[in-house]
Amino acid sequence: MSDRILIIGGTGRIGSCVAQDIAQHTDAEITLTGRKAISTGVGDFSVLALDLADRGQLEEAIAGHNLVINCAGPFSYRDRRVLQTCIEQGVNYIDVCDDPQFCHQALTLKEQAIAAGVTAILSSGVFPGISNSMTRQAVEQLDEAETIHLSYVVAGSGGAGVTVMRTTFLELQHSFDAWIDGQWQRVKPYSDREIVEFPAPYGRAGVYWFQTIEGATLPLTFPVKNVVTKFGSVPDFYNYLTGMVAQLPPKILENPQTIEFLAQVSYAMTQITDKFTGVGLAMRAEVTGTKAGQRAKAIATMVHKNTAIAAGAGTGSIAELILAGKLRQPGVWLVEQALSTDLFTETMQRRQIPIGLIIDN
């Protein structure tokens, strides 16, 4: 029997990119789910209407598949029911979770997944996802890692949909915990501007403190003292606009209507500027520590012309490995815990996504 994949939220921008990547690299039969049925399907994929609040519908949709990929964000609004159902049915699972609370809740199902023989990989995609594996690759170059500094810069919309815009503004609502000097400390989002050197064509760009899932989970995997996560946009005026929004009173930002307004306006703006800036991204994972008793630094870099396609490649590569039997690790895992650097570089090379690596002793 051929492999059958169900992509929940597959009719969205990220979900469709995941489907395209998997179709290119596997022979799996792929079904997408959306809130509404589409009789003609999407491209070469059939579409199934699915209400995640309907447990019966969810169980029926998952049945008969051997891999489920959950792309139905924002994950700050979701619970563990998709993962829990997959474990109950013995179906492998991947998601693109970008919410720390959801991720921590999912990790509590590890023993259940082990008992069911289910491999569940959380937070795949580009950031999180490829960024996690870049960090692991850099950490492995040193004898002891002390500080992880992850920086991201995205041009315009990044080729993503309005859901990503909503998530961005949701993250501006409150200060967040960052791992600094071996303890969790509160940090204000979009603060402490820093100029970072990215690969061409981005070069020097401004980045700011931003809550990412990597900032919450990398300290669980690597015994480091500091994890810094900073994000920026191109063109630079978007950074200043986002910074101004971050200064709004919390009560305003906590209003769902405000978030929706900001997301829709921002998305409309990027549809104009995307024509000039493109929709790509660059990432830089800098790890400092020691090697052979001396201070050392390892830097992993990546650049891609389309952020959404890169996210599809990050998730699709893990799906490919699971279907091929190369990644079979029952339990619930973060990407960097389950995916070896060898497998990571192998799948990135197949997708013609070069990962740069510099070691400075």
Domains in the chain (CATH in brackets) are 4-126+309-353 (3.40.50.720), 127-307 (3.30.360.10)
- Reading the block at residue 53, the tokens are 């609040």
Under the banding of pLDDT at 50, 70 and 90, the label for residue 43 is low
The DSSP call for residue 129 is I
Q: Average the pLDDT over each of 66-75, 81-90, 155-164, 268-277 and give the range with the smallest value.
A: 155-164
Distance from chain centroid for Cα 6: 19
Average pLDDT value for residue range 141-170:
87
3-state secondary structure of 110: helix
Q: Contact, 120 vs 87, CB < 8 A?
A: yes
Terminal alpha carbon distance of the chain? 51
Q: Contact, 229 vs 212, CB < 8 A?
A: yes
- Amino acid 321 reads L
The whole-angstrom separation of Cα 195 and Cα 208 is 9
Tell me: the pLDDT tens digits for 290-336?
999 999 999 999 999 999 999 999 999 999 999 999 999 999 999 99
CA-to-CA dists, residue 95 to 78, 124, 125, 152, angstroms: 12, 6, 8, 21
Distance from chain centroid for Cα 336: 12
